[in-house]
Amino acid sequence: MRVDSLASSPGAAESGATGSVRPPGFYTLFRTEFILAVRRRSDIVNPLLFFVTVLAMMPLGIGPDPEMLARMAGGLIWVMALLATLLSQESLFRGDYEDGSLEQLALQTQPLYFSVLAKVLVHWLVTGLPLAVLSPLLGMMLNLGEAGYWPLFMSLALGTASLSLIGAVGAALTVALRRPGLLLALIIMPLYVPVLIFGTGAVQAALDGYGYGPQMAILGAILAAAAALAPLAAAGAIRISLEN
């Protein structure tokens, strides 16, 4: 699968012509991943459907009282976004591990860091960002105050990127296991705590009429740190999993 799409990319075609194999750059890899992700439509749609379905269950579980829903909406949406990201993460490296292309990526001269970063970026584009875009709609259904829409979108857009990065470490650690689903949740959930706290904190602050700049700044700082460190850890984890 990957070999086909790489062959059709300009970088691979050139290297094929000259006879020397040049590793695909960050952009080529990103483009390939993106095209692949868009073609596997269920991978994009399923997390979103999960997100919407579970959130629709919430009022059925806790009752339709608008005031109570309004108080819980921010937290509920955030926790569900967390779960949707986590569940979609399991397949992040799986296909590539099973068909052997993950090994090829690990053998390339280009640092694995950038390959992981490209994959995570694509994962965020097809899950985190759509979740963030959809969130104001769900906020409306759960009676979230209007002041919360924008901070909800912004905090989710920033926060899910961190979630994707952190989750990539877990996905890489468990890729060699047969059924990683619950284990992945167990090892990654505790690491999600700071993002969840500051994400919901931003929404709550906006609803209470305060500025939510500090929370967004902290979410940005977490994202910066995660972008610098998480792909490194994930790259190490991939090498460990490939030894298995």
Residue from 187, 202, 213, 223 binding other proteins (CB under 8 A): 187
Per-residue DSSP letters for 128-181? IHHHHHHHHHHHHHTT--GGGHHHHHHHHHHHHHHHHHHHHHHHHHHTTSS--H
| Contact flag: residue 92 with other proteins (CB under 8 A) | no
Can you say whether the dihedral through the CA atoms of 163, 168, 170, 174 is positive or negative? positive
Shortest reach from residue 222's CB to other proteins, in Å: 7
| Contact flag: residue 229 with other proteins (CB under 8 A) | yes
The site map against other proteins for 198-217 (x = CB under 8 A) is x--x--x-------------
| Contact flag: residue 67 with other proteins (CB under 8 A) | no
Q: What is the identity of the amino acid at 180?
A: P
Shortest reach from residue 5's CB to other proteins, in Å: 30
Per-residue DSSP letters for 178-224? S--HHHHHHHHHHHHHHHHHHHHHHHHHHHTT---HHHHHHHHHHHH
Shortest reach from residue 4's CB to other proteins, in Å: 31
Nearer to other proteins, 13 or 240 (CB): 240
Residue from 131, 142, 152, 237 binding other proteins (CB under 8 A): 237
3-state helix, strand, coil in the chain (%, to 5): 85, 0, 15
| Contact flag: residue 176 with other proteins (CB under 8 A) | yes
Q: What is the identity of the amino acid at 188?
A: I
| Contact flag: residue 194 with other proteins (CB under 8 A) | yes
**Residue 40: both structure tokens together:** 């596997």
List interacting residues with other proteins (CB under 8 A).
169, 173-174, 176-177, 180, 183, 186-191, 193-194, 197-198, 201, 204, 222, 229, 233, 236-237, 240-241, 243-244
